[in-house]
Amino acid sequence: MSNDLHLPSSSKTVAVRVIDTTTELTLPIDNILWPRVQSHKELFFPSYAFLIEHGSSGRRLLFDLGLQKNWEDLAPTTVAEIKKDKWQVKVEKDVAGILDEHGYPREQIEAIIWSHHHWDHVGDPSTFPASTSLIVGPGFKERYLPRGKPIAGSSIKEQYYQGRSLREIERHEFTLDLAGFAAFDYFGDGSFYLLDTPGHTIGHISGLARTGPDNTFIFLGGDIAHHCGEFRPSALSPLPDSISPSPLEATSPRPCPGDWFARVHHACCTDQPFYRMGTYPDGSGVATDLARAEDSLATLQRYDAHPASVFVILAHDPAMRGVIDFFPLEANGWKEKGWAEKTRWAFLADFRESVVTHLNGAMKSF
């Protein structure tokens, strides 16, 4: 055991490539998070998939697929929901096509792992050959595919899994405890783990990919959170006194005071997240089980408190764009390239207008 998280050591690693799936989603923030930080009215969502390549065997996995290109061919109830909830949707390519463009044969993908069943993650597995299996988290089949058929109103179409192996990693297979998350060692050598991160949906799973023999990892969050402000700051990782690069002006060499952002925080503090999970317009919760979702976030905060060891990438974090190297390049050099530091507080840029308004008001009071 070599780090504060007490994660097991291993010399085995995987290569991680982050795929920008070309998915772009926008929705009103009140649909999904609360309390509102004044001027932050909309959420902009890219959607990432991850190509995982086992270092010693070359076996390849995909973690999530983003949104399928022809999104209006989704299940009719899903298309109706997207329009009713006022999502703005844009997607240019399927992940299978992105792989083709860069010479990665889709036939070489051993399995597609769904973090969960929502339409902006499942893509279209039917664009992959039948030899590619589909892997889902615990409780998935019973909840979403009873008797092998999708439940009414589901975003899952039969064509996604028909004719291919559909494997559920059952709860009893998550035999390890990795810093509070039950874990399944996919390759059996400590290079890539699936983590049971329930709450957002039944069967929600995340990934933990070992990117270096020095116990460095990329945490593939899925929708454990939709915005970094749901788990940052925290008591384990409070807002720093000085933030660099400045979220207000990323190109500026000058840092900005962390206290500026505390002033627009609902609790005016530096050690609690800005947001909590909200409800969709129909009144249903963003989380299927809010208590378990909050427990998952609390455990994530333990990982997030070690940015020198763990680089957290949510499925929808726009801060990655313009900083990290996307597919076909590898992301394993994240630590040496300082990506965790550069992106960590970038989400605070969403509050820029609120901060400027507050500062201008403070100046006028003198």
What residue spans define the domains of the chain? 14-364
Cβ neighbours for 356, distance < 8 A, ≥ 6 positions apart: 248
Taking alpha carbons only, the member of 344, 306, 303 closest to residue 323 is 344
Provide the β-strand partners of residue 143: none
Per-residue pLDDT, 38: 81
- Is 191 buried (19+), middle (13-18) or exposed (0-12) by CB count in 10 A? buried
Q: Which amino acid, residue 179? A: A
- Fold classification of 14-364 is Metallo-beta-lactamase; Chain A (3.60.15)
Q: Is 185 helix (H, G, I), strand (E, B) or coil?
A: strand
**How many other C-beta atoms lie within 10 A of the C-beta of residue 235?**
11
CA distances from 311 to 54, 66, 228, 238 (A): 19, 20, 13, 17
pLDDT per residue, tens digit, the chain (366 aa), is: 334 799 999 999 999 999 999 999 999 888 789 888 888 999 999 999 999 999 999 999 999 999 999 999 999 989 998 998 889 999 999 999 999 999 999 999 999 999 999 999 999 999 999 999 999 999 999 999 998 888 887 889 999 999 999 999 999 999 999 999 999 999 999 999 999 999 999 999 999 999 998 899 999 999 999 999 999 999 999 999 999 889 988 667 789 999 999 999 999 999 999 999 987 666 677 899 999 999 999 999 999 999 999 999 999 999 999 999 999 999 999 999 999 999 999 999 999 999 988 887 654 544
User: Any idea which residue has 């997240």 for tokens?
Assistant: 273
CA 92, CA 20: separation in Å to the nearest integer? 11
CA 222, CA 209: separation in Å to the nearest integer? 13
CA distances from 226 to 229, 232, 286, 316, 353 (A): 9, 12, 10, 6, 21
Per-residue pLDDT, 366: 41
> pTM of the predicted model, to two decimals?
0.95
Is the distance from CB of 242 to CB of 45 less than 8 angstroms? Answer: no
The one-character DSSP state at 35 is S
Per-residue pLDDT, 361: 62
- Length of the chain equals 366
Per-residue pLDDT, 291: 93
Per-residue pLDDT, 152: 81
**How many other C-beta atoms lie within 10 A of the C-beta of residue 94?**
23
Q: Which amino acid, residue 165? A: S
Taking alpha carbons only, the member of 7, 1, 2, 34 closest to residue 302 is 7
Per-residue pLDDT, 362: 56
Report the b/e string of 120-136 with b at 16+ CB within 10 A: bbbbbbbbbeeebbbbb
